[in-house]
Structure 1
Amino acid sequence: MSYSLKPWLLSAVGSIILLNSAQSTAGDTDIKLIAEQPGFYDLIAKHPVAQKIADNGKWVEGPACIAPDTLIYSDVKRNEVMSWSEKDGLKSWLSPADYQNGHAVDAEGRVIAASHGKRAVVRREHDGSWTTLIDSWQGKRFHSPNDVAVAPDGAIWFTDPKFGILSKEESDGTGKPEIEGEFVYRYDPAVKKLSKMNTPDLYTPNGLAFSPDGKLLYVSDAQLGHDVNNKSLQHRIMVYPVNAQQTGEGRVFTEVSPGVPDGIKVDTKGNVWTSSEDGVQVFSPAGKRLGKVLIPAKATANLALCTDAQNRNWMYVTATDRVLRVPVLVKGADTLHK
Structure 2
Amino acid sequence: MSDLLRHPGPPDLVSSVDPPHAFDPRLSEVVSQHARLVSLYDEATFSEGPTWWPAKGVLVWSDIEGRRVLGWHPDGCVRVVVDATPFINGNTVDHGGDLIHCEHGTRRLSRTTPEGRYEPVVETYEGRRLNGPDDVVCAPDGAVWFTDPSYALRLPKQGTLAESELGHHSVYRFEPATGGLRRMADLGEPNGLAFAPDGRTLYVSDTSRTHGGDGHTLYAFPVGDDHVLGEPRVFAQVEPGIPDGFRVDSRGWVWTSSGAGIQIFSADGRPLGFIPTPQRASNCCFGPGERRLFITSMQHLYAIDLGSDPLRNNYESNIAF
Please give the TM-score of this superposition, normalised by the length of structure 2: 0.88
Matches within 5 A, 1:284-295: 284-295=266-277
Kindly provide the amino acid, as one letter, of the partner of residue 239 in structure 2. S
Which residue identity does 2:306 align to in structure 1?
A: V
Partner of 2:98: 110
| 2:236 corresponds to | 254
Deviation of residue 291 (structure 1)?
Answer: 0.3
Runs of 4+ residues over 4 Å off in structure 1: none
1:79 aligned to which of 67, 83, 100: 67
Which amino acid is the alignment partner of residue 263 of structure 1? G
Maintained 8 Å contact 1:135/1:142: yes
2:216 equivalent to 1:235? yes
Partner SS, residue 300 of structure 1: coil
Partner of 2:303: 325
Does 2:84 correspond to 1:96? yes
Matched, 1:168 2:156: yes
- Residue of structure 1 aligned with 2:12, choices 21, 27, 32: 27
Q: Distance between the aligned counterparts of 2:152 and 2:276, measured in 1?
A: 26
Give the residue type in structure 2 aligned to 1:193.
G
C-alpha contact 1:237 1:256 (8 A) present in aligned 2: yes
Asked if 1:36 is matched to 2:18, the reply is: no
Secondary structure in 2 aligned to 1:86?
A: coil
The structural deviation recorded for 1:26 is: 6.5
TM-superposition CA deviations, 1:45-78 (whole Å, max 9, x none): 1211222111122110000111274111100011
- Please say which of residues 50-59 and 206-215 is displaced more in the overlay: 50-59
C-alpha deviation, 1:126, in angstroms: 4.3
> Secondary structure, in 3 states, of the residue corresponding to 2:203?
strand
State the identity as a percent: 32
Question: What is the Cα deviation at residue 125 of structure 1?
Answer: 2.9
CA separation in 2, counterparts of 1:126 and 1:106? 12
- Mark the CA change 1:312 to 1:246 in structure 2 (over 3 Å): closer, same or farther: closer
Which residue identity lines up with residue 158 of structure 2 in the other structure? E
Which residue number in structure 1 is paired with residue 292 of structure 2? 314
**Where does residue 226 of structure 1 map in the other structure?**
211
- 1:196 has 2:178 as partner: no
Distance in 2, matches of 1:208 and 1:179, equals 21
Q: CA deviation at 1:245?
A: 2.7
The alignment's C-alpha RMSD in Å is 1.7
Tell me what 1:265 maps to. 247
- Confirm or deny: 8 A CA contact 1:272 1:282 kept in the other structure: yes
Which of 165, 168, 171 aligns to 1:181? It is 168
Deviation at 1:88, TM superposition (A): 6.0
The answer for the alignment partner of 1:20 in structure 2 is none
Name which of 268, 272, 278 aligns with 1:296.
Answer: 278
Take 1:26 and 1:65, find their aligned partners in 2: how far apart are those partners?
A: 18
Aligned residue for 2:235, secondary structure, equals strand
Higher relative contact order, chain-length normalized (CA < 8 Å, sep 6+): 2
State the shift of 1:108 in Å.
1.6
Q: Is the contact between residue 217 and residue 242 of structure 2 (CA under 8 Å) also seen in structure 1? A: yes
Q: What code does the residue aligned with 1:99 have?
A: F
For residue 112 of structure 2, what is the aligned residue in structure 1? 124
Contact 2:65-2:87 at 8 Å conserved across structures? yes
Q: Aligned AA for 1:57?
A: A
1:198 and 1:246 in contact (8 A); partners too = no
Counterpart code for 2:218: I
How far apart are residue 86 of structure 1 and its match? Answer: 2.4
Tell me, in whole angstroms, the C-alpha distance in 1 between the residues paired with 2:165 and 2:203.
26
Distance in 2 (alpha carbons) for counterparts of 1:50 and 1:116? 30
Q: What amino acid is the match of 1:178?
A: E
Structure with a larger share of its residues in strand: 1
Conserved in 1, the CA contact under 8 Å of 2:286 and 2:293? yes
Q: CA deviation at 1:198?
A: 3.2
Alignment gaps of 5+ in structure 1? 1-24, 331-338
- For residues 197 and 161 of structure 2, what CA distance do their matches in structure 1 show? 40
Structure 1 segment 135-150 matched on structure 2, within 5 A: 135-150=123-138
Specify every segment of 5 or more residues in structure 2 that has no aligned partner in the other structure, as ranges.
1-9, 309-321
